[in-house]
Structure 1
Amino acid sequence: MGWETDLFALFDDLEHHAGTMAAAERADEIADRSRAEYQSVTLASRLMASVGTEVTISADGLDPITGTIDRVADGWLLVAAGSHDWVVNLAAVTGVVGASVRSVPEVAWSPLARLRLGSALRRIAEAGERCVLHQRNGQRHEGTLRRIGADFCELVVGEERRMVLVPFTGLSAAQSRG
């Protein structure tokens, strides 16, 4: 019966090696799939998972903004920083520190998250609040948003009520002054 024991031991050893090789191959495949799947994760989806989290955002033409993400939507996010709210153009964001390691895919977003940057700026205009528009090139204009077009906003500035048009592509953020 000794040869049967040796044979079964050999089969057990071969089965163990085959299982180990299959597990290693499966781990490599899972890693490859994970890397491939992560390609579909967007900055907005990572920020959506960070709603309610304090982050520091760097954006063109701005000093870093540290605050809590209140809302993320199509092309913009709302950050509460001290006594000011910031509507930040996602296209101007150059870095985020403190974001969640998770993401929320866009198919799981609320319909309200489909609202674009113009919708957020219209809310500020409708409220008649003073704000500061920070442009990506570092310029800033303080005034009251009057009208919001398809791809630009119109700001009334100063005592002389001068009109300044700012295209969304040049806008880094709108900062509340209320």
Structure 2
Amino acid sequence: MTVLSARYAPPGPEFMDRVSVAAWVEPGLLGPECHVLLTPARPRLAESVERYRPGLLGIARGLGLGRPGEPYRLGLGLLLVRGIASLDYGHWDATLNVPYPPTWYATAQRQGRVNVAVGLSRRELGGGLVAVHEYLADMAEAGGLWTGVTAWRRTIPAAWLLRAV
């Protein structure tokens, strides 16, 4: 089993605009399944996608993700609160908001879990699920994909409570 090094710390809120988030629902063996794919966003001027790699690996580490094909991994990183979906990836003061299509939130609540993948290469938008599945297969083959399942954590992170004060 592959374990990500502790040198990949979960990034703070300043990194969140460097992450592209895609969420969708598709048929699974036991009914509809929710998915989230995190990839590098379009690089800023004078930056490269390679610079985003440590932050993405920090998110993957914080969510407890592993290489595709390794034993099933389940973390408690899905937060569903009043219509807002977030991933708690282990940073003490930040979560990653997940924009989602209409049926995603209700399905995530009903299933209590979401399949999460972190890809280390940029993905062009468009192409639908066919393009997403091609990207996932290509990244898995290239060794640039981290996957797992995160379950609905029904408690609010302490950092959220501290912000309310």
Q: Sort the TM-score into its range (normalised by shorter chain).
A: under 0.3
Higher strand proportion? 1
Query: Greater relative contact order (Cα 8 A, min sep 6): structure 1 or 2?
Result: 2
- Provide TM-score, normalisation by structure 1: 0.24
Larger radius of gyration: 1
- Provide TM-score, normalisation by structure 2: 0.26
Higher helix proportion? 1
